[in-house]
Copies of this chain bind each other. A is one copy, B any other.
Amino acid sequence: MTVRSRLSWKDVRDTVHDAILSGQYVPGDRLPRDADIASSLNCARSTVQRAMQDLSDSGLVERRRKGGTHVRLDPVTRATLDIPITRREVEQKGGRYGYQLIRQQQQTPPHKVLAALEMTTPQDLLRVEALHLSDCQPYMLEDRWICLDTAPEILDIDLSVQSANEWLVLNKPYSRCDLRFYAISADEKTADFLGTNAGAALFVIERTTWIETAPITTVRAITRPGYQLLTSS
Q: Which residues of B contact A75 (CB under 8 A)?
A: 85, 169-170, 173
**Contact of A80 with B78 at beta-carbon distance under 8 Å, contacts A173-B20, A231-B179 already known:** yes
Asked if A74 and B85 sit within 8 Å, CB to CB, the answer is: yes
**Cβ of A233 to closest chain B Cβ, rounded Å:** 8
Asked if A76 and B84 sit within 8 Å, CB to CB, the answer is: yes
Check: A59 CB closer than 8 A to any chain B CB: yes
Interface stretch (choices A117-125, A137-145, A182-190): A182-190
Q: Which residues of B contact A175 (CB under 8 A)?
A: 17, 21
Q: Which residues of B contact A42 (CB under 8 A)?
A: none
Identical chains in the assembly: 2
Asked if B229 and A181 sit within 8 Å, CB to CB, the answer is: yes
Asked if B88 and A77 sit within 8 Å, CB to CB, the answer is: no
Contact with B along A81-101 (1 / 0, CB 8 A): 111110010000000000000
Asked if B229 and A182 sit within 8 Å, CB to CB, the answer is: yes
Check: A178 CB closer than 8 A to any chain B CB: yes
- Of all chain B residues, the one with the shortest Cβ separation from A186 is B201
- Of all chain B residues, the one with the shortest Cβ separation from A88 is B74
Asked if B88 and A177 sit within 8 Å, CB to CB, the answer is: no
Q: Which residues of B contact A146 (CB under 8 A)?
A: none
**Contact of A181 with B199 at beta-carbon distance under 8 Å, contacts A76-B83, A170-B75, A211-B21 already known:** no
Asked if A180 and B229 sit within 8 Å, CB to CB, the answer is: yes
**Contact of A78 with B74 at beta-carbon distance under 8 Å, contacts A178-B231, A179-B231 already known:** no
- Of all chain B residues, the one with the shortest Cβ separation from A20 is B173
Apart from A77-B207, A180-B230, A182-B226, 11 more pairs, CB < 8 Å: A17-B175, A21-B173, A21-B211, A74-B84, A78-B80, A78-B83, A80-B81, A178-B231, A183-B203, A183-B227, A185-B200
